[in-house]
Chains A and B, each alone.
Chain A
Amino acid sequence: AQTVTQSQPEMSVQEAETVTLSCTYDTSESDYYLFWYKQPPSRQMILVIRQEAYKQQNATENRFSVNFQKAAKSFSLKISDSQLGDAAMYFCAYRRSGGSQGNLIFGKGTKLSVKP
């Protein structure tokens, strides 16, 4: 069974600084998708960034980028120029390719605090 591990329950960053959130996963499949979701205090889950396992190039979305290391099964999220609005729970998620797209497997989450 696939598992997703986020080893940092909490992280803190100074406003305008850069922070990296870690995620590792375990799977025997070669084709899959990885996601980072943000859940602010409002509890609305928002997709931050997505990475297809078959793509070697790391995904980027504005201030958010990932470091995808397929062999190491690592998928970290880097937030540059952190803003107060980035404070939230961040969840790393895995989904296998094909079949169901609903079956996301989530990590336990990392609570990010942003200090002014």
Chain B
Amino acid sequence: KAGVTQTPRYLIKTRGQQVTLSCSPISGHRSVSWYQQTPGQGLQFLFEYFSETQRNKGNFPGRFSGRQFSNSRSEMNVSTLELGDSALYLCASSLVFGQVYEQYFGPGTRLTVT
């Protein structure tokens, strides 16, 4: 079974631009979560989607948004990029929402904002 895939793997943007990252969960998984990883702040939860609905959101500004499609694929969007948005963005999928199943992480998208 294929793992979680994230595209693109690397991205370079300039301040003020917007970016869209994509995540395809493991087949059959319906819950997708996003995390931001930076050297300073570590791993921080962004949001979680299940059945095309955002179920939880972390403490990030409104410039960070996401959505989930009917096939469980998810995208996250960051508008008006700032230098501090440079990070590794990790996506994780799990079977269902509300039960204890392991999260399986993708390889991440490395975003660099210049």
Contact = CB atoms under 8 A, between A and B. Distances in A.
A106 interface: yes
A50 B102 contact: yes
B73 to A, nearest CB: 16
A66 to B, nearest CB: 15
* Interface of B (DSSP majority class): strand
A95 B100 CA distance: 9
A102 B48 contact: yes
Contacts of B98: 98-101
Contacts of A102: 31-33, 45, 47-48, 55-56, 92, 94, 97, 103
Interface of A: 33, 37, 42-47, 50, 52, 91, 95, 97-109
7 contacts: A33-B100, A46-B105, A47-B103, A100-B98, A101-B94, A102-B32, A102-B92
